[in-house]
């Protein structure tokens, strides 16, 4: 309450050197923007809860590597495991659509068993006539609405994909456009299309999508699946869909450590920038601080004013940085969903509080020692200083 009486003075002093204050705010805002973006990515990758439908799905792959293939006969054995409702083959195709150098042409392409797709992914909404057309046509495919809008595709259009992983090309007909609250930038086509063009693959599959009966027993079901293939030529690794997405990030490195390291580096950068600015400001105001002490202000009162000014400047920069982060995160949501779904990426209230808290702590830490030194300096010495 004591410092609230001096709020106008604190704000005026914090912004007294407009050029320096603007540069400091700009530096802090950029750092906080990047920090908030890193925190938001961390939450989206590692802390976000799965959706209700996603929480019932498991993914079974080869225990050694996702690039290894499994016998197709595993599908029936997995279906017989207690707690399993349905099993579907899913195969990553890869390939090139038009020009791979254009980010707009990047999207996931999977072959699936079309009659099982909508029971395993009930969140995919599609008109019934389009669904039936897709199921009946072996060259048919479906894509998400945002992807269709981005590529300017409509039902009935042909989609040509040049193979790279598989020695075959796809000549597909768009039979439906689905909508969903998550991950709507995939293309699905008939697995039989691959088997016809590449018959050697008819006895194998790269992964199985498993729909479980009970979410509370998901871990037990996953363990039972892997136990049923223990000591087989190709052992399996079964995990939740959410954990599979996170694990997929490991192929580009230790993303979790990278985000944490960048966040620490940004926090340290903010501290250095603010500390340098505060030290210069306090040195320039030594005589002014001596006048305050002459007028009866205590060491604690002067220290509180200086700390408040530093924290105010940091919080202004932090608030501006959060505003920039909202724009950056909105832009990231437009990126193609390849490894993880970026559509749920958002600036969470906890991230806002954390970033403002870091900005305030940096303001305090950077100002405390120079401010304490200035507040404790003898009045006579402070008044002798000439600007």
Q: For 101-122, how does the pLDDT look when each residue is reduced to its tens digit (9 = 90+)?
A: 787 788 889 999 999 999 999 9
Closest CA to 6 of 316, 309, 322, 357: 309
Least confident segment among 68-72, 118-122, 363-367: 363-367
Q: For 148-191, how does the pLDDT look when each residue is reduced to its tens digit (9 = 90+)?
A: 988 999 999 999 999 888 888 999 999 999 998 776 788 999 99
Q: Is a pLDDT exceeding 60 seen at residue 386?
A: no
Name the strands in the sheet holding 207-212, side by side, starting at the edge strand that comes first in the sequence: 96-97, 158-162, 170-178, 140-144, 186-190, 108-112, 84-92, 207-212, 57-62, 236-240
Across 346-352, average pLDDT: 91
Give the model's pLDDT for residue 106: 84
Give the model's pLDDT for residue 278: 72
Give the model's pLDDT for residue 244: 83
Give the model's pLDDT for residue 105: 84
Q: How far apart are CA 286 and CA 306, in angstroms?
A: 12
Contact 175, 142 (CB under 8 A): yes
Q: For 201-246, how does the pLDDT look when each residue is reduced to its tens digit (9 = 90+)?
A: 888 888 999 999 988 888 899 999 999 999 998 999 999 888 887 7
Buried-state track 195-211, b at ≥16 Cβ within 10 A, e below 16: beeeeebeebbbbbbbb
Q: How far apart are CA 350 and CA 202, in angstroms?
A: 49
Question: Does the reported pTM lie above 0.85?
Answer: no
Give the model's pLDDT for residue 257: 80
Q: Which of 27 and 306 is assigned the larger pLDDT?
A: 27
């Amino acid at each position: 309450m004591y410092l609230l009486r001096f709020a106008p003075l604190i704000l005026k002093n914090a912004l007294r050197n407009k050029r320096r204050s603007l540069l400091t705010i700009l530096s802090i805002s950029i750092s906080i923007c990047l920090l908030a973006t890193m925190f938001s990515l961390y939450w989206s990758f590692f802390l976000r809860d799965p959706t209700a439908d996603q929480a019932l799905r498991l993914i079974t792959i080869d225990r050694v590597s996702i690039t290894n293939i499994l016998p197709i006969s595993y599908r029936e054995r997995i279906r017989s495991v207690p707690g399993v409702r349905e099993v579907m083959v899913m195969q990553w195709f890869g390939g090139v659509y038009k020009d791979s150098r254009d980010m707009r042409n990047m999207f996931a392409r999977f072959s699936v068993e079309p009659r099982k797709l909508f029971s395993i992914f009930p969140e995919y909404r599609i008109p019934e006539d389009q669904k039936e057309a897709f199921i009946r046509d072996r060259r048919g495919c479906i894509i998400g609405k945002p992807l269709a809008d981005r590529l300017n595709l409509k039902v009935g259009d042909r989609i040509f994909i040049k193979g790279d992983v598989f020695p075959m090309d796809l000549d597909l007909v768009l039979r439906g456009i689905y909508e969903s609250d998550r991950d709507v930038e995939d293309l699905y086509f008939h697995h039989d299309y691959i088997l016809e063009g590449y018959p050697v693959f008819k006895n194998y599959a790269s992964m199985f999508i498993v729909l479980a009966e009970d979410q509370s027993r998901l871990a037990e079901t996953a363990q039972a699946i892997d136990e049923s293939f223990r000591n087989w030529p190709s052992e399996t690794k079964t995990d939740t869909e959410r954990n599979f997405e996170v694990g997929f990030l490991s192929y580009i490195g230790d993303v979790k450590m990278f985000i944490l390291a960048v966040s620490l580096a940004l926090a340290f950068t903010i501290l250095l920038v603010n500390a340098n600015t505060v030290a210069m400001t306090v040195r320039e105001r030594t005589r002014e601080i001596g006048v305050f002490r002459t007028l009866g202000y205590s060491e604690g009162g002067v220290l509180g004013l200086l700390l408040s000014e530093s924290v105010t400047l940091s919080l202004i920069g932090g608030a501006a940085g959060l505003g920039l982060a909202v724009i950056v995160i909105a832009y990231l949501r437009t990126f193609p969903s390849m490894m993880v779904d970026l559509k749920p990426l958002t600036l969470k209230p906890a991230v806002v509080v954390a970033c403002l808290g870091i900005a305030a702590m940096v303001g305090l830490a950077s100002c405390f020692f120079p401010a304490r030194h200035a507040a404790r300096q003898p009045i006579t010495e402070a008044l002798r200083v000439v600007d």
